[in-house]
Amino acid sequence: MPAPAFHEQAGAAAFTILFGAFDRHNFGDLLLAHVVRRMIRRHGPYANLRYGGLAGRDLRPHGGHRVHALARLSATVGDAAVDVIHVGGEILTCSLWEAAVMLLPPGQAEAVVAQLDSRPHARTAWARDQLGVPDLVPYLLPENLFANLRRVIVHAAGGIDLGSVEPGMRAEVVAKLGAATSVGARDRQTRSVLAGNGIDCRLEPDPAVLVAELFGERIRRRAGHGECARIGSGFPGGYLAVQCSADFGDDETLSQLASQLERVARDRHLGVVLFRAGAAPWHDSLACYRRLAARLCGTPVALFRSLELWDICALIAHSQGFIGSSLHGGIVAGAFALPRLGLLRPAQAPEASKQVAFAAAWGAAGAPAAVPVEKLAAGMDQALAIGPAQRTELAREWAAACRAAFRLVQDG
Tell me the per-residue pLDDT of 125-181, one tens digit each, with 9 for 90 and over.
999 999 999 999 999 999 999 999 999 999 999 999 999 999 999 999 999 999 999
pTM: 0.95
Quick one: pLDDT at residue 8?
43
Q: 87 with 17, same domain? A: yes
Domain membership of residue 126 (yes or no) is: no
pLDDT tens by residue, 68-121: 999 999 999 999 999 999 999 999 999 999 999 999 998 899 999 999 999 999
> What's 318's domain CATH number?
3.40.50.2000
DSSP state for residue 336 in the 8-state scheme: T
Compute the chain's Rg from CA coordinates.
21
pLDDT at 29 over 50: yes
Question: Which letter, b or e, does each residue of 218-233 get, where b requires 16 or more Cβ atoms within 10 Å of its Cβ?
Answer: ebeebbeeebbeebbe
Domain membership of residue 129 (yes or no) is: no
Nearest to 244 by CA among 186, 208, 298, 286: 286
Q: 234 with 304, same domain? A: yes
Quick one: pLDDT at residue 335?
98
Residue that is last in its domain, among 170, 204, 238: 204
Q: 236 with 373, same domain? A: yes
Quick one: pLDDT at residue 298?
87
pLDDT tens by residue, 329-378: 999 999 999 999 999 999 999 999 999 999 999 998 889 999 999 999 99
Quick one: pLDDT at residue 5?
43
Residue 11's pLDDT band (boundaries 50, 70, 90)?
very low
Q: 239 with 149, same domain? A: no
The DSSP element (H or E) to which 323 belongs, if any, is: strand 322-324
User: Phi/psi of residue 87, each to 5°?
Assistant: -85, -5
Domain membership of residue 33 (yes or no) is: yes
Nearest to 333 by CA among 375, 277, 371: 277
Helix, strand, coil share of the chain (percent; to 5): 50, 15, 35
> What's 80's domain CATH number?
3.40.50
Quick one: pLDDT at residue 410?
73
Domain membership of residue 406 (yes or no) is: no
Q: 174 with 229, same domain? A: no
Quick one: pLDDT at residue 111?
94
DSSP state for residue 2 in the 8-state scheme: P
Q: 163 with 229, same domain? A: no
Asked which of 44-53, 130-139, 236-245, 377-386 is least confident by mean pLDDT, the reply is: 44-53
The rounded distance, in Å, linking the Cα atoms of 13 and 395 is 34
Domain membership of residue 316 (yes or no) is: yes
Q: 303 with 375, same domain? A: yes
**Cis peptide before 45, with omega less than 30 degrees from 0?**
yes
Residue that is last in its domain, among 148, 175, 204: 204
Q: 241 with 382, same domain? A: yes
Nearest to 87 by CA among 208, 176, 187, 180: 208
Domain membership of residue 104 (yes or no) is: no
Asked which of 51-65, 185-199, 396-410 is least confident by mean pLDDT, the reply is: 396-410
CA distances from 123 to 96, 118, 120, 132, 162 (A): 9, 8, 5, 14, 21
Mean pLDDT of 32-55: 86
Q: 165 with 235, same domain? A: no
373 and 253 Cβ atoms separated by less than 8 Å: yes
3-state SS, 372-399, equals CHHHHHHHHHHHHHCCHHHHHHHHHHHH
The strand pairing partners of 57, in sequence order, are 67
Domain membership of residue 407 (yes or no) is: no
Quick one: pLDDT at residue 14?
81
Query: Which tops the pLDDT comparison, 366 or 65?
Result: 65
Quick one: pLDDT at residue 238?
97
Q: How far is CA 337 from the centre of its chain?
A: 19
Quick one: pLDDT at residue 405?
95
Residue that is last in its domain, among 204, 229, 253: 204
The rounded distance, in Å, linking the Cα atoms of 356 and 340 is 12
The rounded distance, in Å, linking the Cα atoms of 51 and 73 is 9
The rounded distance, in Å, linking the Cα atoms of 377 and 380 is 5
Q: 259 with 184, same domain? A: no
Quick one: pLDDT at residue 47?
64
Residue 46's pLDDT band (boundaries 50, 70, 90)?
low
pLDDT at 285 over 50: yes
Quick one: pLDDT at residue 1?
31
Q: 312 with 353, same domain? A: yes
Structural domains counted in the chain: 2
Q: 340 with 382, same domain? A: yes
Q: Which alpha helices (H) appear in 83-203, and where do they start and end?
A: 96-102, 106-116, 120-131, 167-178, 188-196
Residue 200 structural domain:
6-95+136-204
Asked which of 9-23, 56-70, 168-182 is least confident by mean pLDDT, the reply is: 9-23
Which residues have C-beta within 8 Å of that of residue 135, sequence separation ≥ 6? 96, 142, 172
Domain membership of residue 150 (yes or no) is: yes
